[in-house]
């Protein structure tokens, strides 16, 4: 008797558990699969229109999210290889500078010592060279001494080596021979002053120094970018990679300039897949006409496809994003519309491939999706209350 009662209780519990599970599953399905019922008048007023899904074959562009980045070949961080204090500053953020243009002057004892040593070695070289040439002339006239000639030659070679070392040193910190030996009208000629020059032509995007500031080798005083030479960086999905034509002509569009297309050329596709995003990085050089594009602008990279796509293609405007997930609205009948999750594929011009979630022959909403989305959100809020 006891066992029979236990069996009945267990069966009852199992039945209740199954009922609860079924109830939860049903609630989840209802939550995921929402339907909106509208009157004929509402459909006409809101301009809701539908089309029948069908299989199409098309070739065009892949459209992938992308951003504008700087080209490191035309970017420079400018500082000093010697210590000193900022004496004068000639460039600020937003200024366009030429290669070799003076950005600032530094003042310091180390700079003066470097210049002094260079001038000293140059004077020694001039003297040693003059003596060497004189001894050589005497030897050629058979009136000189071999001993004096060899001594002069050794002194000249020693002086030349020391001068070359100092010459390389002044060049390494950004000075030239003329900067030190020129007329007094050149500020660089003044002992203790160093002209810090721009290594590239471009726009100053950062200035991190003021007059009187102490700087050393770790200080990045300026950042200069050639904004004429920018890159577009995009991310390809794994299934899109095989559709790319290699080094092809591309287009870039951004909401900053609606209706404007920027042209460029694809030059790089990563050889590895990002383990976090499962995407493949790609880059293109862009023609930044009129300097309209700015680094970190977002947009779409349009890459020509290597082949055609065959599948269900619908207008891109028919797809809505809700919490980062793509949805469309399917017409169940003349008055009922269902929100349905879909998996998208390639984007070709103004169309997008639907890989899962929509079958051929089904009707989907092409116009008025925003209204349906709003109605759906109203119902969700109402249920929450």
**Residue 133 banded pLDDT, cuts 50, 70, 90:** very high
* pLDDT at residue 308 is higher than 50: yes
State the average pLDDT over residues 7-33.
46
pLDDT of 330 above 70: yes
| pLDDT (mean) for 109-130 | 87
**Per-residue model confidence (pLDDT) at position 171:** 80
Mean pLDDT of 105-110: 88
pLDDT for 77: 94
Per-residue tokens: 305: 């496809």
Residue 4 has pLDDT above 50, yes or no: no
Average pLDDT, the chain: 83
Q: If you average pLDDT over residues 262-286, what whole number do you get?
A: 90
- Identify the pLDDT of residue 109: 85
- The residue-averaged pLDDT of 121-149 equals 89
- Residue 177 pLDDT > 60: yes
Residue 192 has pLDDT above 50, yes or no: yes
Residues 6+ positions from 9 with CB-CB distance below 8 Å: none
208-229 average pLDDT score: 93
Residue pLDDT, tens place only, 48-98: 999 999 998 876 778 889 999 999 989 999 999 888 999 999 999 999 999
**Do the Cβ atoms of 96 and 115 come closer than 8 Å?**
no
Backbone angles phi, psi at 121, to 5 degrees: -65, -30
DSSP three-state, residue 243: helix
| C-alpha dist (Å) from residue 16 to 13, 41, 108, 167 | 5, 45, 87, 92
User: Sorting pLDDT into bands at 50, 70 and 90, what band is 45?
Assistant: confident
Nearest to 339 by CA among 24, 26, 36: 36
**What local confidence, expressed as pLDDT, does residue 382 receive?**
53
Distance CA 104, CA 99 (A): 14
Whole-number Å distance between alpha carbons of 376 and 358: 20
* 329-348 residues labelled b (16+ CB within 10 A) or e (exposed): bbbeeeeebbbbebebbbbb
Mean pLDDT for the stretch of residues 97-105: 93
Q: Which of the residue ranges 14-23, 25-34, 246-255, 356-365 has the most confident prediction, judged by mean pLDDT?
A: 356-365
Say whether pLDDT at 211 is over 70. yes
Q: Which domains does the chain have, with CATH numbers?
A: 34-59+310-384 (2.40.420.20), 63-71+227-304 (2.40.30.170), 75-108+192-225 (2.40.50.100), 109-190 (1.10.287)
* Higher pLDDT, residue 96 or 23: 96
Q: What percent of the chain has pLDDT over 90?
A: 39
More confident residue, 174 or 32: 174
Q: Does the structure show a pLDDT above 80 at 216?
A: yes
- The SS3 call for residue 302 is strand
**pTM confidence score:** 0.55
Say if CB 66 and CB 266 are below 8 A apart: no
> What average pLDDT score do residues 241-258 get?
85
240 vs 19 pLDDT, higher one: 240
- Count CB atoms within 10 A of the CB of residue 218: 7
Q: What pLDDT score does 27 carry?
A: 47
pLDDT over 70 at 9, yes or no: no
């Amino acid at each position: 008797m006891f066992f029979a009662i236990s069996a009945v209780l267990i069966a009852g519990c199992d039945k209740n558990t199954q009922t609860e599970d079924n109830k939860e599953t049903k609630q989840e399905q209802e939550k995921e699969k929402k339907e909106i019922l509208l009157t004929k008048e509402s459909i006409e007023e809101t301009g809701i229109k539908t089309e029948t899904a069908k299989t199409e074959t098309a070739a065009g562009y892949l459209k992938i999210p992308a951003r504008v980045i700087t080209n490191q070949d035309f970017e420079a961080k400018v500082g000093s290889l010697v210590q000193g204090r900022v004496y004068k500053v000639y460039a600020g953020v937003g200024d366009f500078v030429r290669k070799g243009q003076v950005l600032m002057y530094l003042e310091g004892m180390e700079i003066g010592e470097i210049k002094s040593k260079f001038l000293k070695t140059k004077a020694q070289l001039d003297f040693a060279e003059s003596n060497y040439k004189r001894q050589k002339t005497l030897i050629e006239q058979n009136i000189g001494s071999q001993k004096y000639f060899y001594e002069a030659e050794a002194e000249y070679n020693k002086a030349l080596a020391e001068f070359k070392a100092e010459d390389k040193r002044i060049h390494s910190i950004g000075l030239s021979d003329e900067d030190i030996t020129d007329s007094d009208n050149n500020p660089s000629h003044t002992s203790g002053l160093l002209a810090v020059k721009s290594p590239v032509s471009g726009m100053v995007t950062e200035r991190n120094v003021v007059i009187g500031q102490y700087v050393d080798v770790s200080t990045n005083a300026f950042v200069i970018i050639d904004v004429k030479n920018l890159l577009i960086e995009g991310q390809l999905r794994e299934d899109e990679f095989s559709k790319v034509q290699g080094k092809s002509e591309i287009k870039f569009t951004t909401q900053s300039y609606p209706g404007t297309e920027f042209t460029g050329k694809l030059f790089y596709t990563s050889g590895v897949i990002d383990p976090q995003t499962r995407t493949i990085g790609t880059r293109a050089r862009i023609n930044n006409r009129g300097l309209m594009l700015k680094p970190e602008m977002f947009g779409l990279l349009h890459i020509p496809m290597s082949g055609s796509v065959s599948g269900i293609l619908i207008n891109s405007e028919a797809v809505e994003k809700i919490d980062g997930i793509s949805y469309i609205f399917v017409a169940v009948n003349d008055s009922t519309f269902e929100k349905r999750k879909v998996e998208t594929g390639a984007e070709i011009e103004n169309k997008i491939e639907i890989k899962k979630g929509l079958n051929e022959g089904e009707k989907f909403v092409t116009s008025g999706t925003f209204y349906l989305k709003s109605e759906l959100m109203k119902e969700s809020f109402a249920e929450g209350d």
